[in-house]
Amino acid sequence: MAAADSPSAALRRRDLCSRGIRLAGKMRADVVDLLDIYVEQQGLDASASVAAVEGVPLAAVERWDEQTGTQRLLENLAAYRAFRALLAQMLEEQREQLGEADAGLGRALAAVLLQVSAFTYHLEELLRLESRGIPGEEGDGPPPPPRLSLFEQKLRGLGVLRELAQWAVRSARDLRQLAKPGSATGTAPGLAESP
Amino acid sequence: DSHIQYERVGADVTMKCGSMDWDAAVTWTVNGTDINDSRLNGSYLVLKNVDLLQSGQYSCYEGSSWHLKYQTYLRVGTPPKEPVLMCRSNNYPKGFYCSWHLPTPTYIPNTFNISVIHGTKDMVCEKDAVPKNRCHIRYLQLFSTVKYKVTLTVTNVLGKNFTTLTFDEFAIVKPDPPESVVAKPVPNNPRRLEVSWQNPSSWPDPESFPLKFFLRYRPLILDQWQHVELSDGTSHTITDAYAGKEYIIQVAAKDNDIGTWSDWSVAVHATPWTEEPKHLTTEAQITETTSASTSSFMAPPTTKICDKGAVVGSGAVAVCWTAGLVVAAYSVLFI
């Protein structure tokens, strides 16, 4: 494996970051569309506030500009692994509730799940490139949540999709930071001060 | 004693002349001008249904001695209407600002108080020195789904009012328009214009938070705009300009992922490159000068539609013209 700071590694990193940025952009667009479908099909109010749900990784971060490249990659990886499990769970619940009656929502969920899986792989590749060990997944994912009522399941699904949409934006920004020339995963490139 | 007295438009105001008795002889003035006795009730000055024009300095003098017994500055005004509040981030991801104004003036001093809550957290909006009706906040968190709630309260002596805005982090992102827009003709290209611009200087990190752009252009003589969306770069070549026509061009910017488009930039004007006009000559002149001169004149390519003597239509009348002149005539007709 090339050293993390070799020219070929830098090129590979830039390439992975570019493709990752495009993937994150597509993922966000699809999640936004999925949110519209989900809200309508589940009979929810699009403006409803949803409290933070246990197990859903929050995109919100303080001092984002001070994060190192490795921190960015690790936080992204943990988040998308969690989303992969959450979306799989949503898909199963949706099939249980509606069966084939709502194939459109199921297909849209499955498509986003696929993109989340692809993005997770992308992040793992970037971590391998940085010669960082990839943290193992904890067991089979988050512990199964307590059985929720149908309405609670719907609200949790809304929370999952909203946070995923935020993460997709954050991930594109994170990868742009990583793709900056001279950006090493151990240092935190700061924002340029405005004049 | 002198003080300020605030009264609502339409109110009835009665002023006492200090400690003078009701039946004392007094003279009231407003801004130095005597007030007609018809407005007096004894020594009291009665102003009914006051309006804005009645604001001023009111003074009361003892009848014979002209000692000043009372003075007040009357300011007629209104309680505040619901203020207009706007919040925007033109320097994402550093922070955002909120600005406000009253839809109609109150004509008396107002104080504005703004509160910003993010979830359960109170945030401080630091007032700008200039302009005075603005404050700014630095983001402590990014990528949050929790909404911001901004409440502006305006208070004056006659009443108070307030308004509230609730929004999420992405929704208020709106860059300033692109700067330094320049449009130039392209030499030897009569249908091209080269346009370039710069990111707005208020956008702090275009590398990590790239902007995309929307360019619009039209000839001055037409109303319909052409639009081009550009996902990267700060220049574009227009390739379908009408030859010889002056164009007006503007550019707008938006964060690549979130928020709304900026306002349009300052408009620039440009005309595509045109060939230097050639000196037209008649056939006779060409014949005269053919053997002697080395004229640089080159006649435009022409195509004869028909030969002399050919029959067109049923009237057996021959008509013959050159295509170049026809095209030129049509161009003038339609542009």
**Residue A188, domain member (yes or no):** no
Tell me the residues of chain B between 92 and 111 that have a Cβ less than 8 Å away from chain A.
Answer: 93-94
Write the residue in B202, B207, B258 that is nearest to A194 by C-beta.
Answer: B202
In chain B the domains, ranked by start, together with CATH numbers, are: 3-77 (2.60.40.10), 84-167 (2.60.40.10), 179-270 (2.60.40.10)
Quick one: pLDDT band at residue A130, thresholds 50, 70, 90?
confident
Q: pLDDT (tens digit, 9 = 90+) per residue, B79-93?
A: 999 999 999 999 999
CA distance A160 to chain B (A): 11
The distance from CA B328 to its chain's CA centroid, rounded to whole angstroms, is 41
Helices marked H in A42-149 — which ranges?
69-98, 103-129
Q: pLDDT (tens digit, 9 = 90+) per residue, B308-322?
A: 433 333 333 434 444
Q: Is A122 helix (H, G, I), strand (E, B) or coil?
A: helix
Q: Residues A102-131: what's their mean pLDDT?
A: 90
Phi, psi of B40, deg, nearest 5: -100, 145
All residues of chain B having their beta carbon less than 8 Å from the beta carbon of residue A166 are 143-145
The nearest alpha carbon in chain B to A194 belongs to B204
Asked if the model's pLDDT at residue A4 lies above 60, the reply is no
Quick one: pLDDT band at residue B305, thresholds 50, 70, 90?
very low
Q: pLDDT (tens digit, 9 = 90+) per residue, B243-254?
A: 999 999 999 999
HEC string for B157-179: CCEEEEEEEEECCCCCECCCCCE
Run of H or E including B110: none
Q: pLDDT (tens digit, 9 = 90+) per residue, B197-227?
A: 999 999 999 988 999 999 999 999 999 999 9
**Residue A87, domain member (yes or no):** yes
Q: In angstroms, what is the C-alpha Rg of chain A?
A: 18
Q: Which of B170, B199, B257, B258 should be substituted to probe chain A, the one whose Cβ sees the most A Cβ atoms within 10 Å?
A: B257
CATH number at residue A25: 1.20.1250.10
C-alpha distances in angstroms, A31 versus A161, B124, B202?
7, 33, 31
Chain A touched by B147 (CB under 8 Å): yes
Q: Residues B218-237: what's their mean pLDDT?
A: 96
B179 contacts B201 by C-beta, under 8 angstroms = yes
Tell me the residues of chain B between 218 and 247 that have a Cβ less than 8 Å away from chain A.
Answer: none
**Residue A161, domain member (yes or no):** yes
The nearest alpha carbon in chain B to A179 belongs to B208
8 Å CB contact of B144 and A60? yes
The nearest alpha carbon in chain B to A64 belongs to B142
Q: Residues A13-24: what's their mean pLDDT?
A: 93
Write the residue in B141, B209, B256 that is nearest to A60 by C-beta.
Answer: B141
Tell me the residues of chain B between 189 and 208 that have a Cβ less than 8 Å away from chain A.
Answer: 201-202, 204-205, 207-208
Structure tokens at B247: 């164009």
Phi, psi of A106, deg, nearest 5: -60, -45
**Beta carbons within 10 angstroms of residue B292's beta carbon:** 7
**Residue A2, domain member (yes or no):** no
Tell me the residues of chain B between 295 and 334 that have a Cβ less than 8 Å away from chain A.
Answer: none
Q: Name, in order, each residue with C-beta under 8 angstroms of B280's C-beta and a sequence gap of 6 or more.
A: none
Q: Name, in order, each residue with C-beta under 8 angstroms of B76's C-beta and a sequence gap of 6 or more.
A: B6, B7, B8, B9, B50, B51, B52, B54, B55, B107
Cβ density class A52-80: b for 16+ within 10 Å, e for less: ebebbbbbbbeebbebbbbbbbbbbbebb
Residue identified by tokens 């249904």 is B49
pLDDT of residue A176: 93
Chain A touched by B23 (CB under 8 Å): no
8 Å CB contact of B141 and A180? no
Mean pLDDT, chain B, whole residue set: 86
Q: pLDDT (tens digit, 9 = 90+) per residue, B6-33?
A: 999 999 999 999 998 989 999 999 999 9
Residue identified by tokens 């009231």 is B28
**Residue A126, domain member (yes or no):** yes
Q: Is B35 helix (H, G, I), strand (E, B) or coil?
A: coil
Q: Which of A42-46, A92-96, A170-174, B310-314 has the lowest mean pLDDT?
A: B310-314
Name the domain count of chain A.
Answer: 1
Quick one: pLDDT band at residue A7, thresholds 50, 70, 90?
confident
All residues of chain A having their beta carbon less than 8 Å from the beta carbon of residue B256 are 172
**Residue A139, domain member (yes or no):** no
**Residue A59, domain member (yes or no):** no
Write the residue in A62, A170, A180 that is nearest to B207 by C-beta.
Answer: A180
All residues of chain A having their beta carbon less than 8 Å from the beta carbon of residue B207 are 176, 180, 192
pLDDT of residue B275: 86
Quick one: pLDDT band at residue B65, thresholds 50, 70, 90?
confident
What CA dihedral angle connects B257, A90, A38 and A168, to 10 degrees? 0
In angstroms, the CA A30 to CA A20 distance is: 15
CA atoms within 13 A on the CB side of A43: 4
Q: Name, in order, each residue with C-beta under 8 angstroms of B292's C-beta and a sequence gap of 6 or more.
A: none
Chain A touched by B149 (CB under 8 Å): no
Asked if the model's pLDDT at residue B148 lies above 70, the reply is yes
pLDDT of residue B6: 97
What CA dihedral angle connects A62, A67, A73 and A78, to 10 degrees? -30
**Residue A194, domain member (yes or no):** no
B130 contacts B110 by C-beta, under 8 angstroms = no
**Beta carbons within 10 angstroms of residue B333's beta carbon:** 7
Chain B touched by A191 (CB under 8 Å): yes
Asked if the model's pLDDT at residue A54 lies above 60, the reply is yes
The nearest alpha carbon in chain B to A183 belongs to B208
Asked if the model's pLDDT at residue B292 lies above 60, the reply is no
Q: Name, in order, each residue with C-beta under 8 angstroms of B178's C-beta and a sequence gap of 6 or more.
A: B197, B198, B199, B200, B213, B234, B251, B252, B253, B262, B265
All residues of chain B having their beta carbon less than 8 Å from the beta carbon of residue A25 are 257
8 Å CB contact of A170 and B143? yes
All residues of chain B having their beta carbon less than 8 Å from the beta carbon of residue A29 are none
Which of left, alpha, beta for A141 (phi over 0: left; psi -120 to 50: alpha)? left
The distance from CA B14 to its chain's CA centroid, rounded to whole angstroms, is 45
Q: pLDDT (tens digit, 9 = 90+) per residue, B159-175?
A: 999 999 999 999 999 99
Higher pLDDT, A189 or A45: A45
Q: Which of B96, B141, B142 should be substituted to probe chain A, the one whose Cβ sees the most A Cβ atoms within 10 Å?
A: B142
In angstroms, the CA B9 to CA A48 distance is: 43
8 Å CB contact of B146 and A60? yes
User: Domain limits at A125?
Assistant: 10-47+77-134+149-179
Higher pLDDT, B184 or B293: B184
pLDDT of residue A99: 64
pLDDT of residue B63: 82
